[in-house]
Amino acid sequence: MTKKIIVTGGAGFIGSALVRHLVLDQAAEVVVIDKMTYAANRANIAAAESTGRCRLLVEDICDQRRMADIIASEAPQQVLHLAAESHVDRSISGPRDFIETNVIGTYSMLEGARSYWSGLDAAEKAAFRFLHVSTDEVYGSLGPGGLFHETTPYDPSSPYSASKAASDHLAKAWFRTYRLPVVVSNCSNNYGPYHFPEKLIPLIILNALEGKDLPVYGDGSNIRDWLYVEDHAHALALIVSKGRPGETYNVGGRNERTNLQVVERICDELDRLVPGDRPRREQIKFVTDRPGHDHRYAIDATKLEDELGWRAQENFETGLAKTVRWYLDNPGWWTPLRKSVYSGERLGLTAPQKA
């Protein structure tokens, strides 16, 4: 029997990697719900749509009645909820969209799923899963040592991470109060193909190719744990199928790097593949740090590895090489975005937002 799955945010970066994995590798039938905001791109799921097992519904997850109708009519065995506003800098300059999409939208999806699930027979209820996909940023900032565990207290620093923390608490409350079979995942920084160029790695790749400055916040010492997006997609498919309801699973790549190390590695890889007139490290420019910038994130994925058997297939060097090569090979994907959607300007200004 072909599995029927709803993926919210499925035309975005992580969502589309998941959709491609579910459709192309697992032969599932997937319904994508996506508002198609600036960071979504239908080209991301073109290969999945071409199979006839993937359909896109352009809808707003904040429309609770519509979400309930879609879930009821599609009758999925699984709902994977990834739709979210996700860029920290944009949350600083415009937090309202983050509260609406990440908090109200998650509530809407949970209620739509609960309404559908409550009408299923016992066997269908037992098989149904709702996976809420979140971030390690809800945990706040680590010192020089230690790792984030599933039991780490929440301590969000930005409007983005606060909105995701709120949505995590909603998801867990819907399990505890209503017994809706919810599982939560929290991941480290993702990178890979189809990544919208506002994020660090694609921004640096494209700025470097265009001879522009390579902005590094502060002194570049902030540390992130990097996870190749296809490894994350495989983890999510595993968690929703085998994870225990009510549990949280952290997904990390065990690839800690400072931001400066990441930028320098990209420069060196581009110099090797497409040599220029000067080393691209000379384009690095240190800029004023982001407000509330967490110093270090690092995830302990032992629970996911031991309980469900997941293993990351890429380390940072192999994953970054694949990512750089993808951007070199796919200017037709990113050139229109750079010209008409986001050209690489600094985001994250703190001017107050009008009500």
Contact 114, 176 (CB under 8 A): no
Mark out the alpha helices in 59-196 (DSSP H runs).
64-74, 88-93, 96-98, 105-118, 122-127, 159-178
What CA–CA distance (Å, rounded) separates 9 from 83?
A: 4
Is the Cα dihedral 227, 231, 232, 233 positive or negative? positive
* C-alpha span between 340 and 321 (Å, rounded): 27
Length of the chain (residues):
355
Residues annotated as catalytic (active site), given as ranges: 136-137, 160
Which segments within 39-146 are labelled E, that is strand?
54-58, 78-81, 129-135
First to last CA, the chain: 50
Among the listed residues 55, 134, 77, 70, the one whose alpha carbon sits nearest the alpha carbon of residue 102: 134
Give the pair of three-digit tokens for residue 116.
């559908």
- C-alpha to C-alpha distance for 163 and 354, rounded to whole angstroms: 19
Map tokens 């035309």 to a residue: 11
Phi, psi for residue 130 in degrees, rounded to 5: -120, 115
Q: Are 284 and 267 in contact (CB under 8 A)?
A: yes
In single-letter form, the type of residue at position 151 comes to: T
Sheet arrangement for strand 256-258: 189-191, 223-228, 256-258
What is the sign of the dihedral through the CA atoms of 145, 297, 181 and 55? negative
**Rounded to whole angstroms, how far apart are CA atoms 184 and 303?**
13
The residue written with tokens 């309202």 in the block is 96
Instruction: Provide the Cα torsion 105, 51, 242, 153; round to 10°.
Output: -30
